[in-house]
Structure 1
Amino acid sequence: MGCGNSKVLPEASKKSYVSVVQSLVAFSKGHEDDDEPKKQKKKQKNPWFSASVDNPHLGPSSKQQIKQRQEWNKVPKYKDKFEPRVTARYDIKALIGRGSFSRVVRVEHRATRQPFAIKMMEVEAPEGREVCDSELAVLQRVSHANVIQLVEVFQFPQRVYMVLELATGGELLDRVVSRGHFTERDATQAIQMILAALVYLHSLGITHRDLKPENLLYYHPGADSRLLVTDFGLSAFASTLTRCEISERGNEETGESWSLRTTCGTPEYMAPEMLLRRPYSCAVDMWALGVIAYILLSGTVPFEDDSRTRLYRSIVRGKYSFRGNVSLLDFLFSYV
């Protein structure tokens, strides 16, 4: 998705967080009704790790066999699309995700047998080029334990191939759904890792602008896994912004900072100043982090309404309620 258009989401139910999740990520995840477990569809995972088949009547071996057959059926199709320079260096193993302008595959380096993910981006369309340029502008400049790491890039006229470290631990969103909500201790650990990434990104003049649990991945399935910030397609990097993107750029000697105007991101996580189309800064990422903290601690979203207009109004007013210790939430929402 390119900047300038916010993501359009379907209506959300107020009964449970699982139903809320269905509305928030319906464009990338398929689910069946909770009262029909026998008809569950294959769940489409985030484009950084493999999809799985959710069927309670299948044993582990059956699931694995089905998964392998699906991967084998898809590999030849996408191998043919890869440039020889890429396949000479990496062995394509499986398609693990897709987006509007991209396909992501799991690969192995032919010499070291180390696993990676390759994000193949179609850049012929202006929108695809915009998303690709935004990601590359960030990934080519960052190196942090809590930010997805770019290994190398292959660029061609029609496609760009980004080789990335492979995250296999799943989305933060998945862990919240499986638990219902986090303990305050676990939530604090997750927030600390996200904050570490944001401090680093903001120090470089990078604003993510689409921070949400779906874009936060665990490096491995273990409880001690580090969290990785991913998906920089909507990010803004200070040195690459155009005049249309920047409303004002401050004087570095006075310590003033540049600000943005473009409205983009996922509505439930957007800061009030962005919705009001006012100049904003990297503080919008802190607002999104406050929403994430609320979700971790409660298992629900702080701002929710079937009407987009009422949703925006509640966000702009900053009105939310939470039972329990809200010190962490107060800190993250305090800048409003």
Structure 2
Amino acid sequence: MGCGNTKVLPEASKKGYVSVVQSLVAFSKAHGDDESNKHAKKRRAPWFSTGAKNLQPASSGQQQILREGRQQARVAKYKDKFDPRVTARYDIKALIGRGSFSRVVRVEHRATRQPFAIKMMEVEGPEGREVCASELAVLQRVSHSHVIQLMEVFQFPQRVYMVLELATGGELLDRVVSRGHFTERDATQALRMVLAGVAYLHNLGITHRDLKPENLLYYHPGADSRLLVTDFGLATFGGAGSEVSSGDHSGAETWSLRTTCGTPEYMAPEVLLSRPYSCAVDMWALGVIAYIVLSGSMPFEDDSRTRLYRSIVRGKYSFHGDPWPSVSNLAKDFIHRLLPLDPASRLSADQALRHPWVSTMAASSSMKNLHRSISQNLRQRASRSSSRCPSSNGSSADSTKVGLGKLISLEGNQEQQQGRASGPHPARGASTPSN
């Protein structure tokens, strides 16, 4: 995915994120890839998941004691920040994530001993309050088997504590690579669960804006686990907020958003071009996710942020290389219908659920095991990423703005030239790129 894989945030949000490449590095470590182990960095766990594999090699008892001591010290440090009314009900167990305005800990309910995650958000400053209010407004509204559930909230002047389901089954890609056998039918099983959750959100007028494999977590490690859509730090309602365009806000099809945010490789063209957009941006991201799940590679990828953006706004992707010759045309058609450049041409979540490839659970597709090709592609990407990503002290937000400026200028010039040459520009569809 390249070195610049950072989340593009709204001005008021500085929330951190876990990169796909780090998840792939974790895969290489888990499978004894010595060369990748030389370069891979330790992955930071998602803030609501404890299902990540232990990425460190077996250590001595003394090292284990030291680690446990450091963990206990961190727990004690953050436990002191928790309001007594929260700790009276929940026992703080471990710190599992952090952001600019938040800390997330694994907890146990003192009465039932059931595990949960508590996200503690600092709300003294205006930015923290805005981020918290936005996320809380969404989480308080949703209740679906494939969407992370908010259990209860403690609100105080300085901090807000959100008690959430604790997903322990690991990320989507972790499950894919750990199975040892993966077919198109397995892919549809996962995507059906995600689509069900996204359709529910869209029917409520909620756009997630940061769908990616890291934000799709299994509730438990079992084979029958449900898959959850998580991390609503960038989610928003379509009918509220200053960024929403004027007009009839009666449904998800009639409103549009304007804030540029998300994770670059998953951002839809209209977002990159600073055009008004709708929940169709989530469907573009699901097309990217489907491509990754079936191949282990990215449809849009480049070390250069500007070239990455250019390939996205031109819709430049292909089905070359393994395992694509073994993937059905129906599966490719499903991806095509999620990646048109024209948002109005994309499948909605409800329509995607009715696509023949999904609705029949790939019944007419080949049952060939794609796992080997997927795993090889994941390892290669992890190795490339770990060897070519130097540390950078520059501002990713600033570099993103520069890249977007160049891209928008380039795109505008291209459209003007095409308009002079051939009249009005036709809607660009989701075909594979022309040479």
What TM-score do you get using the length of structure 2 for normalisation?
Answer: 0.66
Q: Give, as a single letter, the amino acid of the residue that structure 2 aligns with 1:77.
A: K
Kindly state the Cα deviation for residue 289 of structure 1 after the two structures are TM-superposed.
0.3
After TM superposition, give the deviation of residue 194 of structure 1 in Å. Answer: 0.7
Give runs of aligned pairs for residues 136-285 of structure 1, distance below 5 A.
136-176=136-176, 178=178, 182-242=182-242, 245-250=243-248, 252=250, 257-285=254-282
Q: CA deviation at 1:135?
A: 1.0
Deviation at 1:275, TM superposition (A): 0.8
How far apart in 2 are the matches of 1:282 and 1:215?
A: 17
Amino acid at match of 1:55: Q
Query: Structure 1's 70 and 49: CA in aligned 2 closer, same or farther, altered over 3 A?
Result: farther
Aligned-pair CA distance for 1:309? 1.2
Asked if 2 retains the 8 angstrom alpha-carbon contact of 1:6 and 1:265, the reply is no
Worse overlay, 170-179 or 298-307 = 170-179
Whose radius of gyration is greater, 1 or 2? 2
Q: CA deviation at 1:167?
A: 0.6
Shift of 1:327: 2.7
Cα RMSD (Å): 3.2
CA distance in 1, matches of 2:271, 2:25: 21
- Normalized per residue, the structure richer in strand is 1
* Alignment deviations for residues 282-308 of structure 1 (CA, whole Å, 9 cap, x no partner): 000000000000000000110011111
- Alpha carbons 1:167, 1:220 under 8 Å: kept: yes
Distance, in Å, in 2 between the alignment partners of 1:275 and 1:290 is 17
Q: Is the 8 A contact 1:187 1:297 kept in 2?
A: yes
For residues 140 and 8 of structure 1, the distance between their equivalents in structure 2, rounded to whole angstroms, comes to 20
Pick 1 or 2: higher relative contact order, CA cutoff 8 A, min separation 6: 2
State whether residues 238 and 249 of structure 2, in contact with CA within 8 Å, keep that contact through their aligned partners in structure 1.
Answer: no
Within 5 A, what are the aligned runs for 1:81-96? Answer: 81-96=81-96
In 1, are the aligned partners of 2:95 and 2:103 still within 8 Å (CA)? yes
Alignment of 1:1-336 (within 5 A): 2-4=9-11, 21-22=21-22, 35=35, 37=37, 42-50=42-50, 53-58=54-59, 68-176=68-176, 178=178, 182-242=182-242, 245-250=243-248, 252=250, 257-322=254-319, 323=324, 324-325=327-328, 326-334=332-340, 335=346
Which is worse superposed, 206-215 or 322-331?
322-331
Deviation per CA, 1:244-285, whole angstroms, max 9, x where unpaired?
A: x012332649x9611111110011000011111111110000
- Equivalent residue letter for 2:338: L
Q: Secondary structure at the match of 1:304?
A: coil
Change (3 A) 1:161 1:181: farther
Q: Distance in 2 between matches of 1:165 and 1:56?
A: 29
Partners of 1:132 and 1:25 in 2: CA distance? 31
Indicate the SS of the match to 2:245.
Answer: strand
SS of 2:224's equivalent in the other structure is coil
Aligned partner letter, 2:210: D
1:87/1:25 CA distance change after superposition, 3 Å: farther
- Change in Cα spacing, 1:35 to 1:41, as seen in structure 2 (3 Å) is same
Size of the aligned set, in residue pairs, is 317
> How far apart, in 2, do the equivalents of 1:119 and 1:316 lie?
36
**DSSP 3-state at the match of 1:248:** coil
Contact 1:176/1:299, CA 8 A, preserved across alignment: no
Query: What is the CA-CA distance between 1:77 and the residue it aligns to?
Result: 1.1
Structure 2: which amino acid aligns with 1:267?
P
What is the CA–CA distance in structure 2 between the aligned matches of 1:156 and 1:22, rounded to whole Å?
A: 35
Superposed CA deviations along residues 129-165 of structure 1, whole A, max 9, x for unmatched, are: 2221121011000000000000110111211100001
TM-score, normalising length from structure 1?
0.84
Task: Tell me how far apart the structure 1 counterparts of residues 130 and 85 of structure 2 sit (CA, whole Å).
Answer: 24
What's the CA shift for 1:76? 1.2
**Unmatched tracts of structure 1, length 5 or more:** 10-18, 27-32
**Range moving further from structure 2, 292-301 or 174-183:** 174-183
1:29 corresponds to: none
Quick one: distance in 2 between partners of 1:43 and 1:66?
A: 20
Q: 1:72 Cα deviation (Å)?
A: 2.3
Letter in 1 for 2:58: H
5+ unaligned residues in a row in structure 2: which ranges? 1-7, 27-32, 341-345, 347-428, 430-435
Counterpart of 2:333, as a letter, is S
Structure 1 CA distance for aligned equivalents of residues 64 and 165 of structure 2: 23
Q: Which residue of 2 aligns with 1:14?
A: none
> Identity across aligned pairs (percent)?
72
